[in-house]
Chain A
Amino acid sequence: MMIDAVLFYVFAAIAVASAVVVIGQRNPMYSAFALVVTLCSVAVIFGLLGSPFIAVLQVIVYAGAIMVLFLFVLMLLNVKREKDSPSRGQRTLSGVALALVTVLVLQAGAVLLRSRPTPAPDYDASTFEMAKILFSPHFLYAFEATSILILAALVGAVVLAKKEL
C-alpha cells in the first residue's frame, strides 16, 4: 500500500497548492480554473479512499457543473482582474499569520486532547454498500428532505433569474 500513500501525498499537495493559487490569483478566471484542479485532486483522494462513485460525482457535479456556474457568474458580472491595493502586503501578512495561528491552535487542541490521527477503518466504501446505507430507513427522511431542498433551489433560481413570471 506504499503506492497509495505516495499518490495521496502527491494529490494532497496538488490540492493545497492549487487552492493557494485560487485565493492568490488576481485574475478571477484563473482562480476558477485553479479550483478545477483542486476539485479533481480531491476526487483522486476520494478514489484512493475506495469510493470511485464519489470520485466521479466530484468531477461531474463539482468540477463540471458547479464550475460552469462559477464561470457564468464571472461572465455575468464581467469581473475584471483585481486591482492592486496599497495595503496588499499587509493583508497577505495578516492572512498568513491567521493561518499559522489556526494551525497552532488546532495542533495544541489535538495535543491537549491526546487525539492522534487514526487510519481509516477497514470499511467497505463501495458504491453498493454506500447505496444500501443511503436508502436504509435510517436515512430515508434525509433523502426525501433532499428533494425538497432541490425543489426550493429550483424555484429560487427561476424566481431570481426570470424577470416576468
Chain B
Amino acid sequence: MPSYLPIVILGAIALGFGVFVLAASHIIGRPRPDARKLSTYECGMPPVGTARERFPIKFYLVCMLFILFDVETAFFYPWALVMDTLGIYGLMAMGTFFLVLAVGFVYEWKVGAMDW
C-alpha cells in the first residue's frame, strides 16, 4: 500500500488553516452585524429573488459534455504511465480511442452545442 502521509499532512494543513482563520477572526474581530452584512452574499451584488428557480437546460448540456471529456482524460493518465513500454501498439490503441472522441468533439462544435 502506498504511503498516504503527504495527503494526510496536506489535509491537516488545509483544515488547520481554515480553523485558524475562523478562530482568529472570532477572537480578534469585533462583530458589528447590520442588516446588509447579514444578508445573503452573492458576489457583492444585492441578491435578487429566490434561488429556487428552474435553470436552463444549457447548463446540463455543458456539464454532460464536461463529464464525457473528463472520463476521456481519465484514460490518458494510466496510458501516459505505460506509454514507453507499449511502443507503437500503445500509440495506435490510444490513437483510435482519441480519433473516435475527436469525431464527437467536431460534431458538438459543428452542431453548436457549445454556443450559448
Contacts and interface: CB of A to CB of B under 8 A. Distances in A.
B79 A69 contact: no
Nearest to B3: A52
A131 B107 contact: no
A154 B85 CA distance: 32
Contact of A65 (B63, B81, B97): B63
A94 to B, nearest CB: 32
A101 interface: no
B71 A158 contact: no
Contacts of A73: 60
Interface in B36-95: 52-55, 57-61, 63-68, 70-72, 74-75, 77-79, 81-82, 85-86, 89-90, 93
A46 B33 CA distance: 45
A150 interface: yes
A155 to B, nearest CB: 7
B99 to A, nearest CB: 8
Given A76-B60, A150-B104, A47 B54 contact: no
Nearest to B113: A158
Contacts of A130: 78
A72 B59 contact: yes
B65 to A, nearest CB: 7
A165 to B, nearest CB: 6
A162 B74 contact: no
B86 A135 contact: yes
Contacts of B61: 157-158, 161-162
Interface stretch (A53-61, A84-92, A109-117): A53-61
Given A61-B67, A75-B54, A158 B108 contact: yes
Given A53-B78, A72-B55, A162-B61, A135 B93 contact: yes
Given A135-B93, A146-B97, A147-B101, A154 B60 contact: no
B67 A155 contact: no
Contact of A146 (B64, B65, B75, B82): B75
B31 interface: no
B111 interface: yes
A153 interface: yes
A137 B86 CA distance: 10
Nearest to A158: B113
Given A157-B65, A161-B60, A151 B82 contact: no
Contacts of A61: 67, 70-71, 74
Given A144-B93, A154-B104, A161-B61, 12 more contacts: A4-B1, A50-B1, A76-B57, A128-B81, A128-B82, A137-B89, A144-B96, A150-B68, A151-B101, A154-B107, A161-B58, A165-B111
